[in-house]
A and B are shown apart, each in its own frame.
Chain A
Amino acid sequence: MTRITIGPFNRVEGDLEVRLDVESGRVMRAEVTAPLYRGFEQILEGRPPLDALALAPRICGICSVSQSVAAAAALREAMAIEAAPNGLLATNIAHAAENAADHLTHFYIFFMPDFAREAYASHGWHAATRERFAATRGSAARDALPARARLLETMGIIAGKWPHSLAFQPGGTTRAIDLGERVRLLSITTAFRSFLERIVFADSLENVLTIASADELDRWRDGRGGDFAHFLRLADSLALSALGRGTGLMMSYGAYHGSDGELFPRGLFGPRAATEPLPLTQITEDVSHAWMRESSVDPAHSSTVPDPDKPAAYSWCKAPRLSGQSIEVGAIARQTVAGQALIADLVSVSGTNVRNRVIARLIETARIALAMEQWTRALRLSEPFCHNSRDIPNGSYVGLVEAARGSLGHWMAVRDGRIERYQIIAPTTWNFSPRDSFDVGGPLEQALVGTDVGDAGARAVAIQHIVRSFDPCMVCTAH
């Protein structure tokens, strides 16, 4: 048995280290370390509750709208108000822009460049892949970065500035959109659709979303241009559907709230391979392997106090569990729970794995691009964008949203106009969690076990694919 350490990782958001025990070229055990901690939960304690709206987004420069929206949702529950329908729509548009931008960044900047590595030089697709996706040199970044920047002008119109926007409030958004701005929003969403249809899919979004099964996907792919089909061919050639298998347990808090429910519903994709109601009260956090002092396991009652000398600990990340189980979150979980036909079929055939996680992100991107157009048209410009309240009574509140990378929850306790406790469980806290007190690893730790690294050891590209397939956001993870 040899122990290898991989890290620091590049092309992931934040710092990450992975340790693997390898025997006969196969991973027997994995430990995932989040080596960065700042203490946002400690910093938030004692401050006025509304200040969470300015502080929480600063947890992450990539998912900052998600953090804002989660804090606003917790405060909305505290104020016991309904958000203005326009405010929900405007929030959804901005949040969708951030999430779609994240999915694009993941595909073009973080994930695909690994296939341009020399390790794959013998494959027929390598030359084209290197020309298109090589890190910092490939032609794809020159298509994707401007498209992404243009999409994020949405933030300028709705949120003033991004990252770290301030427009998202418990009762809606701070500013009404006027007619001219709606036209600009529509032109942004149209440009984004055009980028997806020309560059990513080489097909109309409506057509892409009619693909309902693994077989149909294979037929659709054959002979098609575009970066998605390119990925599908390469994924088959490398059997990426057999790499980084998850346990199959997934959840979603429900994404993009509207006056009549969510675009992607809340639920648990459970052990019976079907969607069930999500037992929110069963969410706990275990600190047996985190450099954290013991506290309540209930996020509504726990506090965060570092304990850097703790034996047996190896990460700043706590281990969240649902009914004692480690759970995978992200686009694949959202789309499976939502019953998206293609993703549900792929998961029923091969479970969660490197290929399916990537497919789920791109299919979701197509879905939210269409939703953005509808939300923009649905704005009623003369009606309010924000309902106001300043009343925040004592109590415990929770804000649950879906960030690009999965389920994000803020648990906030208020006493006498001040934050008494604040707990955050971010998507990568779930996916990259350390072991719990039963020695059960988090989703990535489990997905790495059994991976064949051959003689390559720490240089094995397979490890890079598996780690990046989760699109980790390490700064959110331990915050």
Chain B
Amino acid sequence: MGTATETFYSVIRRQGITRRSFHKFCSLTATSLGLGPLAAGRIANALETKPRVPVIWMHGLECTCCSESFIRSAHPLVKDAVLSMISLDYDDTIMAAAGHQAEAILDETRAKHKGQYILAVEGNPPLNEGGMFCIDGGKPFVEKLKLMAEDAMAIIAWGACASWGCVQAAKPNPTQATPIDKVITNKPIIKVPGCPPIAEVMTGVVTFITTFGKLPELDRQGRPKMFYSQRIHDKCYRRPHFDAGQFVEEWDDEAARKGYCLYKMGCKGPTTYNACSTVRWNGGVSFPIQSGHGCIGCSEDGFWDKGSFYDRLTTIKQFGIEKNADQIGMAAAGAVGAAVAAHAAVTAVKRLASKREDVDHNS
């Protein structure tokens, strides 16, 4: 544990990180947050002068995929973000202390940084049977969560579990797994959904909060706008094939080898707000659609109970620039299907329209 007067900069310098790496970190962070080049200086200044904001990271009912994602963030300094910047003053998985010693650190941090710390919550509390499905240190997790939330400045809800409930809340929700904003109602909560969220999105959010001492701008659902304002579909590299009506019909078929659209394989990209198609995964290497599988919409509320992940929309007719707009069929196969079909049709019509204009201009 560091002291309250320690800065991020002093911690990383002590760990042998160069000033050059530090500045690189600041500019990359500024870029990933969409803040423009001037913000890099502000971030650097804040990290050099402001006391480090303590972050307490807690695990409820969960699978630890959020932590897993976080520690593999691509940026070279991020491991130091894990190990020192937010310091994970209390983290169940990687910290050194064990047992009641760990519980004591939790109490101490709460008292010492009252009203100043960020509570990062991975997983959620199950409420059935008095919370008995997630017992931590002899007490239901929900009690520990409420206690720690009381003195927190703000709360980060990591992942789909903390934000929405996720698959453990899928019907019949045996443990009554409950998103944290249903349990904590008097604190600002920032939702960072996804199962798990993208590492760079997580570090971006943490860096913003620790740098500026406030939450970034949120949308109506409580998500940071900078990462969740666009659909996967909007920036998908397979989008031209969607517009052209070129679809994969089976895994690894000829169309798949050509990189056609996965919409017919159940892809939920058109209705999913997340940064996967821009930031990508595992160090920017790829994302689910690039691996040839559709998006399952894991950052959307209720994605686990919206019918099969592989529902094929077979009733939709082929559409695209090869066909006349009048021939474009629209069929509803569930709400998603209807919305997507309408959207696809509109796109195709637009394309046709602009093509006709081109033709007119040229003739």
Contact = CB atoms under 8 A, between A and B. Distances in A.
User: SS class of chain B's interface: helix, strand, loop or mixed?
Assistant: loop
Given A61-B67, A141-B79, A149-B283, A8 B304 contact: no
Given A8-B92, A10-B94, A113-B96, A166 B296 contact: yes
Interface string B119-162: 00000001001001111111000000000000000000000000
Interface in B236-287: 250-253, 256-257, 276, 280-283, 285-287
Given A171-B251, A172-B251, A9 B99 contact: yes
A226 to B, nearest CB: 21
Given A10-B94, A141-B79, A306-B174, A164 B298 contact: yes
Contacts of B170: 43, 55
B252 A62 contact: no
Interface string B84-107: 100110011111111110110000
Interface in B166-183: 166-168, 170-175, 177
Contacts of B102: 8, 10
Contacts of B363: none
A160 B276 CA distance: 10
A252 B57 CA distance: 36
A176 interface: yes
A316 B177 CA distance: 16
B64 interface: yes
A146 B76 contact: yes
Contact of B98 (A38, A42, A48, A464): A464
Contacts of A173: 251-252, 291-292
B251 to A, nearest CB: 4
Contact of B129 (A62, A162, A308, A385): A308
A161 B286 CA distance: 7
Contacts of A175: 252, 256, 290-293
Given A43-B170, A136-B83, A161-B276, A11 B134 contact: no
Which of A137, A155, A163 has its CB near the most chain B CB atoms (within 10 A)? Answer: A163
Given A141-B79, A155-B282, A59 B97 contact: no
Given A61-B196, A109-B94, A37 B63 contact: no
Given A43-B168, A48-B308, A475-B64, A146 B286 contact: no
B308 A51 contact: yes
Interface in A449-479: 458-459, 464, 475
Given A61-B66, A160-B293, A464-B98, A388 B137 contact: no
B47 interface: no
26 contacts: A8-B99, A13-B93, A17-B138, A36-B61, A39-B175, A40-B167, A42-B172, A43-B168, A47-B308, A51-B308, A54-B296, A58-B167, A64-B65, A116-B96, A137-B83, A160-B281, A161-B282, A161-B286, A163-B69, A165-B288, A166-B293, A166-B296, A169-B251, A176-B257, A316-B133, A386-B251
Interface of B: 15, 59, 61-69, 71-74, 76, 79, 82-84, 87-88, 91-100, 102-103, 126, 129, 132-138, 166-168, 170-175, 177, 195-196, 250-253, 256-257, 276, 280-283, 285-294, 296, 298, 304, 308-310
